[in-house]
């Protein structure tokens, strides 16, 4: 009831019964909200948090705080689950910034129901990916879950079948986001069953040694069904998935190292498929000569060297973020900068299998190149290969099918692509490494003066074609040397090849490598994506 002479809506002095009750309602509800929030921040309770810390693990919110810029995290659906005593339903979700750029993120909370995926938990995961897709920003998932939650028949949750559907359909937004926004997964604990499929659909997976595990069925089930007794590490640990299966991309000694690596990776990635990666001037002269390369790369094509050393000399400030460094080591892929621009490097590794192309290297190369093509990242091919690895194991493992994936990726790619043959490109390696521009669409192709080309190496070719002549010669060694010199001059001389082949852009000195690549990238920076034949999608050989 208003008082004459006083305006309606004036702040109460506490003496009017009606208005005083309104103030007390505010106070009570705000206190209630603060208590609910405080309980949610306690996760599953101090005892569970202490047990987590004793194992060297961080809580879900601690992980997010390490990952994101300080003070940037905004949590969504914080008070969900408070009526059932399930803080945030075991999933901390929201958005924040990394290096000032917005990302969407969630972290499963192992202190609440073990991090298991229930309907609301699953819906929050679904909605986080969906928000990232709607906003056109990267998505990051921090996984620590045993899989689906056992249903609670006494639950009073008001969420019905629609929530169940969303909780079990995280794979749908992951798939819709593929190729549109970068998706990064971190495995922070033991993830099994349904919990491993969403990470498997994302672009990158990072793991922690001795702490992270991924498997469809755990060691207990494997022992019962198959009679094999394996530890978690032996079945699906970080080393297994980074070295053998190729499921994961990198592994780290601690959670902090892993989370910092995600921050570093984001420096090379755009927000979405319609933007370009951020440029960054690292203070490295674009015109710097790379004289060191002649000392790193032996002129003898039979001698091994570490191509990573060559990459470090060529790229800006020697910084190279390698992807899958332990899997299929015969090929090296990763991100770097040239003249401030982000590039994807694909390089043969002569230290392993003479840089041969294999079943595993084909999968690794294809996956990486397709990611680059999705996100406007130019591709630089550093070629030094002895062609596809021969033998029964490779043929029976489907090298034809896997090699075809590489050709598919090269031919469908529309981003700028530059090839540099540093030393050799034999046989099918010419195709697999994009050295035949007319057939696979490489924009620029450069050779070093020592480059050897052909179906096979000069020495092997001379022995194959002239072996009998050499053996019956009065001076076999002299005859072999003479035939080898003639063969190299005629068939393995890039200057001769470049004189007739207009698809070879130039023959350059090794010291000109960095300068040449940067100049070519600058020119190709305005390359337009060509029109494609209309279709639903291609059917890449799988």
pLDDT of 94 strictly over 80: yes
Residues 6+ apart with CB under 8 A from 230: 219, 222, 223
Average pLDDT over residues 176-196: 93
Q: How far, in Å, CA of 91 to CA of 166, rounded?
A: 15
* Structure confidence at residue 493 (pLDDT): 80
Query: How confident is the model over 237-292, as pLDDT tens digits?
Result: 999 999 999 999 999 999 999 999 999 999 999 999 999 999 999 999 999 999 99
Task: Report which of residues 186 and 18 the model is more confident about.
Answer: 186
Residue 212: φ, ψ to 5°: -95, 140
Average pLDDT, the chain: 89
pLDDT band with cut points at 50, 70 and 90 for residue 453:
confident
* Structure confidence at residue 93 (pLDDT): 97
pLDDT of 161 strictly over 70: no
* Structure confidence at residue 400 (pLDDT): 95
* Structure confidence at residue 119 (pLDDT): 87
H/E element, 350: none
pLDDT of 173 strictly over 80: yes
pLDDT of 14 strictly over 90: no
Which pTM does this prediction carry?
0.90
Average pLDDT over residues 107-114: 92
Task: Report which of residues 140 and 456 the model is more confident about.
Answer: 140
In the numeric block, which tokens belong to residue 212?
């992270």
* Structure confidence at residue 11 (pLDDT): 43
* Structure confidence at residue 20 (pLDDT): 57
pLDDT of 1 strictly over 80: no
* Structure confidence at residue 154 (pLDDT): 55
pLDDT of 325 strictly over 50: yes
3-state helix, strand, coil split of the chain in percent (to 5) is 45, 15, 40
- 324 to each of 85, 213, 332, how far by Cα in Å? 41, 17, 8
DSSP state of 388: B
pLDDT band with cut points at 50, 70 and 90 for residue 2:
very low
* Structure confidence at residue 152 (pLDDT): 62
pLDDT band with cut points at 50, 70 and 90 for residue 480:
confident
DSSP state of 181: S
Assign 118 to helix, strand or coil: coil
* Structure confidence at residue 514 (pLDDT): 98
* Structure confidence at residue 6 (pLDDT): 42
27-41 in b/e form (b: 16+ CB < 10 A) is eeeeeeeeeeeeebe
pLDDT of 151 strictly over 90: no
From 103-107, 175-179, 387-391, 515-519, the region with the lowest mean pLDDT: 387-391
* Structure confidence at residue 22 (pLDDT): 64
Residue 37: φ, ψ to 5°: -60, -45
* Structure confidence at residue 156 (pLDDT): 52
From 85-94, 484-493, 509-518, the region with the lowest mean pLDDT: 484-493
pLDDT of 97 strictly over 80: yes
Provide the percentage of residues in the chain whose pLDDT is more than 70.
92
pLDDT of 113 strictly over 50: yes
Query: How confident is the model over 385-425, as pLDDT tens digits?
Result: 989 999 999 999 999 999 999 999 999 999 999 999 999 99
Average pLDDT over residues 326-331: 98
pLDDT of 193 strictly over 50: yes
Strand-strand pairing, 417-426 and 379-385:
parallel
**Residue 226: CA count within 13 A, CB half-sphere:** 10
pLDDT of 454 strictly over 60: yes
Q: How far, in Å, CA of 138 to CA of 183, rounded?
A: 6
Helices (H), 151-254: 161-167, 171-177, 197-201, 219-226, 232-236, 238-239
Average pLDDT over residues 301-327: 97
* Structure confidence at residue 53 (pLDDT): 93
- Domains delineated in the chain: 53-150+161-266 (3.90.226.10), 293-457+492-524 (3.90.226.10)
H/E element, 50: helix 46-54
Assign 219 to helix, strand or coil: helix
pLDDT band with cut points at 50, 70 and 90 for residue 162:
very low
pLDDT of 165 strictly over 80: no
Burial of 50 per CB tally in 10 Å (0-12, 13-18, 19+)? exposed
Residues 6+ apart with CB under 8 A from 345: 311, 315, 320, 332, 333, 334, 335, 336, 380, 382
Burial of 315 per CB tally in 10 Å (0-12, 13-18, 19+)? buried
pLDDT of 368 strictly over 50: yes
């Amino acid at each position: 009831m208003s008082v004459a002479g006083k305006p309606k809506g004036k702040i109460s002095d506490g003496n009017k019964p009606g208005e005083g009750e309104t103030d007390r309602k505010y106070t009570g509800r705000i206190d209630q909200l603060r208590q609910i929030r405080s309980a949610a921040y306690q996760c599953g309770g101090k005892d569970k948090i202490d047990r987590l810390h004793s194992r060297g693990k961080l809580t879900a919110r601690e992980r997010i705080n390490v990952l994101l810029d300080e003070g940037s995290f905004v949590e969504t659906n914080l008070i969900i689950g408070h009526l059932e005593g399930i803080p945030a339903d075991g999933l901390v979700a929201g958005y924040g910034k990394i290096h000032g750029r917005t990302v969407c993120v969630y972290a499963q909370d192992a202190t609440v129901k073990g991090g298991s995926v229930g309907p609301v938990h699953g819906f929050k995961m679904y909605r986080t990916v969906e928000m990232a897709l709607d906003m056109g920003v990267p998505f990051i998932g921090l996984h620590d879950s045993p899989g689906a939650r056992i249903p609670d028949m006494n639950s009073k949750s008001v969420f019905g079948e629609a929530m169940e559907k969303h909780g079990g359909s995280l794979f749908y937004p992951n798939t819709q986001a593929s190729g549109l926004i970068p998706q990064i997964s971190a495995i922070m604990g033991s993830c099994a069953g349904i919990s491993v499929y969403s990470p498997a659909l994302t672009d990158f997976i990072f793991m922690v040694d001795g702490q992270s595990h991924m498997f469809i069925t755990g060691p207990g089930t494997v022992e019962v069904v198959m009679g094999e007794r394996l530890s978690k590490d032996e079945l699906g640990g970080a080393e297994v998935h980074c070295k053998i299966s190729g499921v994961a991309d990198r592994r780290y000694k601690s959670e902090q190292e892993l989370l910092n690596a995600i921050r570093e990776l984001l420096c090379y990635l755009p927000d979405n498929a319609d933007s370009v990666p951020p440029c960054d001037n690292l203070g490295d002269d674009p015109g710097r000569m790379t004289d060191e390369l002649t000392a790193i790369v032996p002129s003898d094509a039979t001698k091994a060297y570490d191509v990573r050393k060559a990459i470090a000399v060529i790229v800006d400030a020697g910084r190279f973020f390698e992807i899958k460094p332990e899997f299929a080591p015969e090929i090296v892929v990763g991100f770097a900068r040239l003249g401030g621009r982000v590039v994807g490097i694909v390089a043969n590794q002569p230290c392993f299998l003479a840089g041969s192309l294999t079943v595993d290297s084909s999968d690794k190369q294809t996956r990486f190149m397709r990611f680059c093509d999705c996100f406007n990242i130019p591709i630089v091919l550093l070629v030094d290969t002895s062609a596809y690895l021969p033998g029964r194991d490779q043929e029976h493992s489907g090298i034809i099918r896997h090699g075809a994936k590489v050709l598919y990726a090269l031919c469908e790619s529309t981003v700028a692509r530059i090839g540099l043959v540093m030393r050799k490109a034999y046989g099918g390696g010419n195709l697999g490494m994009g050295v035949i521009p007319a057939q696979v669409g490489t924009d620029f192709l450069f050779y070093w003066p020592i480059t050897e080309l052909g179906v096979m190496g000069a020495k092997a070719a001379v022995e194959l074609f002239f072996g009998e002549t050499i053996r019956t010669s009065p001076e076999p060694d002299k005859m072999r040397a003479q035939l080898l010199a003639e063969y190299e001059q005629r068939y393995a001389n890039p200057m001769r090849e470049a004189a007739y082949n207009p698809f070879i852009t130039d023959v350059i000195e090794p010291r000109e490598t960095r300068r040449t690549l940067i100049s070519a990238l600058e020119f190709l920076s305005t390359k337009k994506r060509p029109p494609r034949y209309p279709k639903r999608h291609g059917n890449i050989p799988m």
